[in-house]
Every structure is written in structure tokens, then in C-alpha cells.
Amino acid sequence: MKRRVAILISGRGSNMSALIRAAAAPDFPAEISLVISNKADALGLERARAGGVKTLVIESKPFGKDRAGFEAVLQAALDQHDIELICLGGFMRLFTAEFTKSWYGRMLNIHPSLLPSFPGLDPHGQALRAGVKLSGATVHFVIPETDAGPIVMQGAVPVSDHDTADTLSERILEVEHRIYPEALRLLATGKVLIEGDVCKTAGSGPSENFLIAPVVR
């Protein structure tokens, strides 16, 4: 049986689209059963419908600071659709600690940096200002702290002297679209093992690739 997944979005939903595309393969171990947006005008909603996925809007704005009130409605929708796993895809609303704890080990997020470096806002600008030569993307389990939690998968890209936040974000986004479906596949097939704060992967070996930057020719 395929695991039932909900994707939560607030914006364009390119990671959502990558997950929907991957899940369309007959042998993918999860199905995208529902896309929920906390914004009625999120571009991703149209993309989800075009991909044949059911969508739901639960506006968070009317709840103001009442996070628990918003989450009660969200949880009811997740229950109604028998959702087993959640993927956050650019979902720009913080959760209460209670909500994250109740979904611990079953809710993934993606962030465009090599966590624990550069959590929070403007991770690309943070990376450029720090002068790192490699950056990337991280899929991790969600815990009460923002952009933190056991790391499931990471992908790295070189950072060039000529990068702007836009060019770096474009390069990292390609990696995001590669690793998010793979991380979901691992979780859905029970290959992800959480040991304390660290996540291990059943059957994994070391990657044979090196990524070194800069390269001077």
C-alpha cells in the first residue's frame, strides 16, 4: 500500500510539483493525496490541480496568532484524508511545538542550505555573505525549532564568486527537486531510522562523489 502524503505549501510549489511528478511513477512508495495551502492565491494550487491532485485552502491569516486554532482545522483535514506523512514545500507558517511533536518522524521539510548552516530567512544571502564555496539543500524531519531536526538527505552545489542570491537559489532548487522525492521514498519505505538527533539510512553506503570549489583552470 502506498503511503498517503499531504504537501503543505504557501507559494509557487516547485518542490510540490517535483514530488507529484515522482509519485506518478507506478513503483513510487507514496501517493500525493492532498495539497493544502494556507494562502488562497498560492501559485502552486493551480499546478497541483493540473497534476490531478486534490487541493484545499485553509487560510491562516484569519487565525492571526492563534496557531493552535489553525492547526486544529489543519489536523481535521489531515484526518479526514487519512494522511500518514506530511511534506512541507515552502510552507511559510510556524507550527506550535505540540503540532510538530505529534507529527515527529512523519513530517519532512526542505530548506535551501546545508543545515545547520543558514536556517531561517534569506539562506542564499546568508551563504553569500559567509563566503562559503559549497552550499545546497537539506531535507529534514520537523521539530519545534525552525529549519532544524534530524537530517534525512542533503545535496551540495558549488558557489561561485559571480553568484547572486537569485543564481544560487536557481542552482540549489535543481538539487531540491532531486533530493526531496528521494528522501520521501526512503521515509515511505521505512529505510529512515532516527537515532536521537541523528537520522541514519538503512542500506546506505558512502557517496563516491567529491565536490570541490573553486576550481581554477
Binding region for ligand GAR (CB under 6 A)? 9, 11-15, 44, 89-90, 110-112, 147, 173, 176
113 contacts 127 by C-beta, under 8 angstroms: yes
Q: Which is nearer to ligand GAR, 120 or 190 (CB)?
A: 120
Q: Kindly state the smallest distance separating residue 113's Cβ from ligand GAR, in Å.
A: 8
- Rounded to the nearest 5°, which phi and psi values hold at 156? -115, 150
Q: Kindly state the smallest distance separating residue 138's Cβ from ligand GAR, in Å.
A: 9
Q: Which is nearer to ligand GAR, 15 or 100 (CB)?
A: 15
Q: Kindly state the smallest distance separating residue 155's Cβ from ligand GAR, in Å.
A: 11
Q: Which is nearer to ligand GAR, 13 or 181 (CB)?
A: 13
Q: Is 162 a catalytic residue?
A: no
Q: Which is nearer to ligand GAR, 105 or 119 (CB)?
A: 119
DSSP letters for 75-124: HHHHHHTT--EEEEES---PPPHHHHHHTTTTEEEEESS-TTSS-SS-HH
Distances, alpha carbon 27 to alpha carbons 7, 23, 24, in Å: 19, 8, 9
Which residue in the list 81, 111, 140, 177 is annotated as catalytic?
111
176 contacts 189 by C-beta, under 8 angstroms: no
Which residue of the chain is nearest ligand GAR when measured via CB? 90
Q: What does the block give as the cell for 145? A: 525549532
Q: Which H or E element spans position 18?
A: helix 14-23
Q: Kindly state the smallest distance separating residue 204's Cβ from ligand GAR, in Å.
A: 23
How far is it, in rounded angstroms, from Cα 149 to Cα 140? 6
The residues, any chain, with a CB within 8 Å of residue 196's CB and separated by 6 or more, are none
Is residue 144 classed as helix, strand or coil in its secondary structure?
A: coil
Q: Which is nearer to ligand GAR, 13 or 155 (CB)?
A: 13
Q: Kindly state the smallest distance separating residue 170's Cβ from ligand GAR, in Å.
A: 10
Q: Which residues are catalytic?
A: 111
